[in-house]
A = this chain, B = another copy of it.
Amino acid sequence: MSKTNGEKRIRVALLGCGVVGSAVARMLIESADDLRSRIGAPVELVGIAVRRLAKDRTDLPVPADLFTTDAAELVTRADIVVEVIGGIEPARSLLLSAMKHGASVVTANKALLAEDGPTLYAAADAAGVDLYFEAAVAGAIPILRPMRESLAGDDVRKVLGIVNGTTNFVLDKMDTTGAGFEETVAQAQALGYAEADPTADVEGFDAAAKAALLASLAFHTRVTGADVFREGISDVTAADIAAAKAMDCVVKLLAICERTTGADGIEGVSVRVHPAMIPRTHPLASVRDAYNAVFVEARAAGQLMFYGRGAGGDPTASAVLGDLVAIARHQVAGGRGPGESAYADLPILDVGQSLTRYHLSLDVEDRPGVLAQVAQAFADTDVSIETVRQHIRTNAGTGAKRANLVIVTHTATEAALAATVDALSETDCVAEVVSVMRVEGA
């Protein structure tokens, strides 16, 4: 903190002034009086680093001379550095330099944290500063602070999150309109819910980064993006959505973090992102549009859910400002927030070990003995069947009959299920394994 006329003030440097950064800047200026009262000292915005100095930003209530392209210099003269540039570099180097110069940092950068969080944590520890990143997961929803602090005396067993608004919007629209994937993504792009290149969202990379952060905090174990099994929603068809509907389920892209004992008896952590069917009665099923929600199961607390806006300038800025106030209070009154907690150091279980229920749709011949053959393929691969439903369809042209078998299994490992699918493909009465989808939240 620096002093002017004997008054302490908290100098804030803002790196990036895009969707999130401009909302942060506006709130810092417009809420200055409240922030001062809540912190016990005034906050002063000392500079905003951008890429394009020439861009018109006159809509922001910020003096023009605060903008700079010299982010490296800016981070050396702040008490708190807020990074909302995104990407790995120069964000990482700037944050490391900021901490080395004694600043605490707030970042919304899940990609960087999931790739290289431990380096940042270590730098924060070495410098004795705070590293906060509530905005990196589920935007405005307070989920990281509850996980690291409110549940610090409890044992988190499972986290199920809808943490990507784009994919939730797409799946929700597919559910309500019956439309296909491509068509719905195009609509989401037109409405501004999906980017021109939607890969990071649609293929689950964004959700995987958030899953890694959630799992790290939940299980006191280092988890990086590379540890997360990831499957996106681009293979989800209108038929899958209809099949889910028939089971009174919806399809959601879930980030799943679970403390569990793998099939080989070893206790560890399973972290995965994939589309899954969940019952319509599950609290996550009613999360519509681009909303996010995180469902947590802890030993003593039981089931908790946190719901809200997962993205957007203002909601994300709300989370950034919350972190900024916490850090500023530390700088005024002393203390530091909790650092990295990785003492439990649990093994990351291979996805082949993780246990889930499955929904399979098979196209089979309509003749006696088929069900027995199919059941045998499941039995041979040690996967137990919970329910079977058979639909007979007659080909209008040929009059030939085919059957559609919908099978839901009891929990089985991914490895066993993969073996079942192989065995089914080699069973001569099975024309096609039409779809396989995991079922969660029972």
Contact B302 A140 (CB under 8 A): yes
A172 to chain B, nearest CB (A): 14
Q: A350 in the interface, Cβ–Cβ < 8 Å?
A: no
- Please state the number of chain copies in the assembly: 2
Chain A: interface residue total (CB-CB under 8 A): 57
Which of B153, B300, B301, B315 has a CB less than 8 Å from the CB of A300?
B315
Bound form: Cα–Cα A335–B128 in Å = 13
Bound form: Cα–Cα A142–B302 in Å = 12
Contact B37 A149 (CB under 8 A): no
Q: A220 in the interface, Cβ–Cβ < 8 Å?
A: yes
Q: Which of A145, A152, A302, A306 has the most CB of B within 10 A?
A: A152
- A318 and B301 contact, Cβ closer than 8 Å, known pairs A27-B153, A38-B220, A142-B146: yes
Q: A430 in the interface, Cβ–Cβ < 8 Å?
A: no
- Interface 9-residue window, one of A3-11, A97-105, A184-192, A319-327: A319-327
- A152 and B325 contact, Cβ closer than 8 Å, known pairs A37-B343, A300-B140, A334-B334: yes
Bound form: Cα–Cα A338–B333 in Å = 9
- A309 and B302 contact, Cβ closer than 8 Å, known pairs A153-B27, A330-B335: yes
Q: A307 in the interface, Cβ–Cβ < 8 Å?
A: yes
A residues within 8 Å of B by Cβ?
Answer: 23, 27, 31, 34-35, 37-38, 134, 140-142, 145-146, 149-155, 220, 283, 286, 298-309, 312, 314-315, 317-322, 324-326, 329-330, 333-336, 338, 341, 343-344
Which 5 A/B pairs are nearest by Cβ-Cβ distance?
A: A335-B335, A153-B321, A142-B150, A140-B301, A152-B325
16 A-B contacts, Cβ less than 8 Å apart?
Answer: A31-B155, A35-B153, A37-B344, A38-B152, A38-B153, A149-B322, A149-B325, A153-B320, A286-B286, A300-B317, A301-B314, A301-B315, A301-B319, A304-B307, A329-B338, A334-B335
